[in-house]
């Protein structure tokens, strides 16, 4: 695997190069500006570009646009700070072709920063490998944690042929490729959508507030980052705050509200889709539509099995052809938990149809 690092900071080029070079089978080359990056891409194959958000000649999103124009299939991951300004620009890049982002270490010295970046680069390389396998038709061996999750889930015996007659809400789980997928899906919803929508997007703190603002601009419904003890309202979309779990609870009168927790990560994720789905299972709802979109791993499958055991559920999984990474939806499909498998463009209209709005 060949990685091209594009960053004007000599310190971060050093941190990223050492982190990438420490991974087996990885060769890393670094350049300080966009011109050298484009020259390097023209002269040799590169599996992954790590692209800084801010550079003096051209900023990251501008360079991303040039790269995607010249090399549409090139894998680009943004390298971002964790400020609100950086988060907004990073999310725009994710909507315009970047497959993921990694956050620059804020403090802790060179050794600590390199170790953090080594883990993050390893994670995004797994994404690149899975995308490469999917594009050339090669079956991808399941990672150990994915295989364990799948084998622990018995095939679900589907007795339902239509969505439940009474539906309380929509639950959505998504990871890699999520900002772009959510924007496309939510933009197609009716402004008269009659139930609350709760979303878990795997993302660290700061970024989800910017994501909620970005989605609010394209979605006809109000989109907000979820806060604790917020009553669920029809037609409102709530996103789990980055780095924290989103759960739902039901009071004695049957009213539903949110609960934000800092319990341990699940599948190395916080927020976790499983945590949201399992909390919904405890609420014993009249009916739920679940949607599992693009993402690495299997988060959501176990929680969905528990939810289906406790409440009537209609489960939609995004299809492989339209996923940035066909991991989380594949886990749902492989477990026999999907009632429908749809392309991304068809999910929003299908939700409108299920809830009888236009």
Question: pLDDT at position 144, please?
Answer: 38
Active site positions, annotated? 175, 202, 299
Higher pLDDT, 257 or 145: 257
> pLDDT tens digit string along 223-235?
999 999 999 999 9
How is the chain split into domains, by residue range? Answer: 2-136, 147-354
CATH number given to 2-136: 3.40.50.2300
Q: Residue 137 pLDDT more than 70?
A: no
In which band, very low, low, confident or very high, does the pLDDT at 109 lie, cut at 50, 70 and 90? low
What CA–CA distance (Å, rounded) separates 225 from 208? 7
Rounded mean pLDDT, 264-285: 96
- As a whole number of Å, the CA-based R_g of the chain is 20
Where do runs of H (alpha helix) occur along 137-220?
144-151, 178-186, 207-218
> pLDDT tens digit string along 76-103?
999 987 666 788 889 989 988 999 999 8
Q: Which CATH superfamily is domain 147-354 in?
A: Methylesterase CheB, C-terminal domain (3.40.50.180)
Which residue bears the tokens 């392309």?
343
Region label for 27, one of left (φ > 0), alpha (ψ between -120 and 50) or beta (otherwise): beta
From the number of C-beta atoms within 10 Å of its C-beta (0-12, 13-18, 19+), residue 143 rates as middle
Q: Could you tell me the end-to-end alpha-carbon distance of the chain, in angstroms, rounded to an integer?
A: 47
Q: Residue 140 pLDDT more than 50?
A: no
Question: pLDDT at position 60, please?
Answer: 87
What CA–CA distance (Å, rounded) separates 334 from 24? 31
What CA–CA distance (Å, rounded) separates 183 from 42? 32
pTM of the shown model: 0.87
What CA–CA distance (Å, rounded) separates 139 from 137? 6
293 contacts 182 by C-beta, under 8 angstroms:
yes
Q: Residue 75 pLDDT more than 60?
A: yes
* Residue 233 neighbours by CB distance under 10 Å: 11
> pLDDT tens digit string along 14-72?
889 988 989 999 999 999 999 999 999 999 999 999 999 988 778 888 999 999 999 99
Residues 6+ apart with CB under 8 A from 95: 179, 180, 183, 214
> pLDDT tens digit string along 198-252?
999 999 888 999 999 999 999 999 999 999 999 999 999 999 999 999 999 999 9
Higher pLDDT, 161 or 306: 306
Is the sign of the CA dihedral 171, 236, 344, 245 positive or negative? Answer: negative
């Amino acid at each position: 695997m060949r990685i091209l690092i594009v960053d004007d900071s000599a310190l971060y080029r050093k941190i990223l190069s050492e982190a990438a070079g420490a991974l087996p089978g990885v060769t890393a080359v670094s350049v300080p500006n966009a011109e050298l990056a484009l020259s390097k891409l023209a002269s040799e194959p590169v599996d992954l570009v790590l692209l800084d958000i801010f550079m003096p000649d051209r900023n990251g999103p501008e360079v991303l646009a040039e790269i995607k124009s010249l090399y549409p299939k090139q894998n680009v991951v943004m390298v971002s700070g964790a400020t609100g300004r950086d988060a907004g620009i990073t999310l725009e890049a994710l909507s315009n072709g970047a497959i993921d982002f990694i956050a620059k270490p804020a403090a802790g010295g060179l050794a600590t920063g390199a170790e953090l970046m080594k883990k993050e680069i390893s994670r995004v390389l797994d994404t690149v490998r899975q995308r490469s396998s999917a594009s050339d038709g090669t079956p991808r061996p399941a990672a150990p944690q994915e295989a364990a999750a799948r084998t622990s889930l018995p095939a679900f015996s589907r007795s339902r042929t239509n969505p439940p007659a009474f539906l309380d809400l929509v639950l959505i789980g998504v990871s890699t490729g999520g900002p772009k997928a959510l924007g496309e899906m939510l933009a197609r919803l009716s402004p008269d959508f009659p139930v609350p929508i709760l979303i878990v997007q795997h993302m660290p703190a700061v970024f989800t507030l910017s994501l909620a603002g970005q989605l609010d601009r394209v979605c006809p419904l109000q989109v907000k980052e979820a806060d604790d003890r917020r009553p669920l309202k029809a037609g409102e979309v709530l996103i789990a705050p980055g780095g924290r779990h989103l759960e739902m609870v039901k009071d004695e009168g049957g009213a539903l509200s949110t609960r934000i927790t800092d319990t341990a990560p699940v599948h190395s994720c916080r927020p976790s889709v499983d945590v949201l789905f399992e909390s919904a299972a405890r609420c014993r709802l009249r009916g739920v539509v679940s949607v599992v979109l693009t993402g690495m791993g299997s988060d959501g499958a176990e929680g969905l099995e528990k939810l289906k055991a406790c409440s009537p559920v209609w489960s939609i999984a995004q299809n492989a052809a339209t996923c940035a990474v066909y991991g989380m939806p594949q886990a749902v499909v492989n477990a026999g938990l999907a009632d429908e498998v749809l392309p991304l463009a068809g999910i929003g209209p299908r939700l409108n149809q299920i809830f009888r709005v236009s």
